[in-house]
Structure 1
């Protein structure tokens, strides 16, 4: 059953005529599912989820045919109605734990504030639950950390605190926005294992925004590949890895270091993601695409369904190798 439905989402900064940084995006997430959103920096991954959370402020403009979470129209919710959902049933873990936590308050105070806001817990009950949450995210000597300030914690411990706050009200959907970017490699693996354990235990849906395709291959059921604000491919794991349909997906997979073993150079995709003011007239990938033809430079392709997902390309790859 669909928990999240996003149809034709656009996000602009400026006026209604500004070039969208997220353009006509459709995403669906089912209950208990792990969906990964991948793409280079500037592809619109984080902005998409910020729009869902209601964190796009003026001059940002968010429009959609549908932005529905658990039966609620997130575009129409205001004030108290939104706060009953965001932080409780819908929660988010941000990239940098050191800026996600308030440096002026202790760890315990910040977790207890979430518990009071969404579960009505106060005093000893909130304190006891905060301790349980710190223990659940495997913070050592959890009781002594309740009165610690964020600057007294390492990056890994700060991220665990942020996760504890995000899962405090047992959300139905957790968004993890590159939750391991600022952490050491060994800590990254621990944080990902923790998130997946929590996802399975609570049967919550998880949207994982990441650059790490190895993590996607091991954790996600479905993948949305984004480029320049558009979804260019949707597919299931492992089929998307074995048989990518979009040239951009193929390029991302070729750039994995393991795929270049024995080669003189790591495979790369020349150029950069187009910005708001340098968008090509046709397919947004056409200036960088080795398969681009004349019509690719003149028209923009639609996202077209196929037997195992969808692809935005006039000349998709590997379609003939599929069995419908």
Structure 2
């Protein structure tokens, strides 16, 4: 049984859904990446899993299960026992994820109190150990530091320490290196992978950086306009993408000596201007008359693809 099982997930805020029929599975100890342009529904999908979609947002699914538990059927109290402990999330902006009114130590110890029952000296000692594990120097002194006194890289390390404090089985990292410089980005990703291997966690990485994904993930889900358009294993999917959108994302990666970046014309459709057929059709260089129909996600040579005319399928 998969650790995470999502079937036909929809999230809407009025109008067309911003997440439209997402199917996704994740096994224990696996590293899965979700990629796509801004507005593709990557983060919203995971916020729905965490129960962080506020009204007027509405979440529906045929299945939204974690470790066999139906997340949609849980009450607030039961959900709080799982979220923050068995499922934890590292957000892309640590300055907004950390509470500016409380010290680093207080915020880490709060997680330890809520989910592990640690208090007093035991909680403080464990908080120091967590800061040391995420490679923060002078960890004991950092406990009394406020978030605004930390650099971006240090703040993200604190956010990671908070996320792993409850010893999660699934860690969701939502663009964890976006606000950091290149050197710190590499350090943070190396840290996340070390923690994933050390603890046997499943890691779900949300990213638009395909180079990072290629180096870290075992499988990838490509999302476009709220739909999964391709699923497959790496590096095979990047070597021979089946969906035109996957091909366009890879073509947009800068190459040495390249005079002009490749781009896909147009924009991701919004809630109120979605095509009736294939959502990529207005931008797709391979569009054909049948694309006026809405394709389903079907098995492909390397996984699954949502396209009537998939690419690179000769060996299928």
TM-score range, shorter chain: over 0.9
Q: Is 1:272–2:272 an aligned residue pair? A: no
> Counterpart of 2:223?
226
CA drift of 1:95 comes to 0.8
| CA deviation profile, 1:106-161 (whole Å, cap 9, x unmatched) | 00000000000000000000000000000000001111100000001011100000
> Superposed, which structure 2 residues align to 1:83-122 within 5 Å?
83-122=80-119
Unaligned runs of at least 5 residues, structure 1:
none
> Superposed, which structure 2 residues align to 1:298-313 within 5 Å?
298-313=292-307
User: How many angstroms apart in 1 are the aligned matches of 2:154 and 2:258?
Assistant: 39
Structure 1 residue matching 2:8: 3-state secondary structure: strand
| CA deviation profile, 1:141-200 (whole Å, cap 9, x unmatched) | 111100000001011100000000000011000000000001111111100000000000
Please list every run of at least 4 consecutive aligned residues from structure 1 whose deviation after the TM superposition is greater than 4 angstroms: none
Unaligned runs of at least 5 residues, structure 2:
none
User: How many angstroms apart in 2 are the aligned matches of 1:179 and 1:270?
Assistant: 28
User: How many angstroms apart in 1 are the aligned matches of 2:76 and 2:312?
Assistant: 48
Report the count of equivalent residues.
316
CA drift of 1:6 comes to 0.1
User: How many angstroms apart in 2 are the aligned matches of 1:100 and 1:55?
Assistant: 13
> Counterpart of 2:278?
283
> Superposed, which structure 2 residues align to 1:83-232 within 5 Å?
83-232=80-229
User: How many angstroms apart in 2 are the aligned matches of 1:216 and 1:264?
Assistant: 25
| CA deviation profile, 1:48-105 (whole Å, cap 9, x unmatched) | 0000000001000000000000111000111210010000000000010000000000
User: How many angstroms apart in 2 are the aligned matches of 1:19 and 1:314?
Assistant: 23
Aligned Cα RMSD in Å? 0.8
**Normalising by structure 2, what TM-score?**
0.99
**Normalising by structure 1, what TM-score?**
0.96
CA drift of 1:217 comes to 0.7
> Counterpart of 1:315?
309
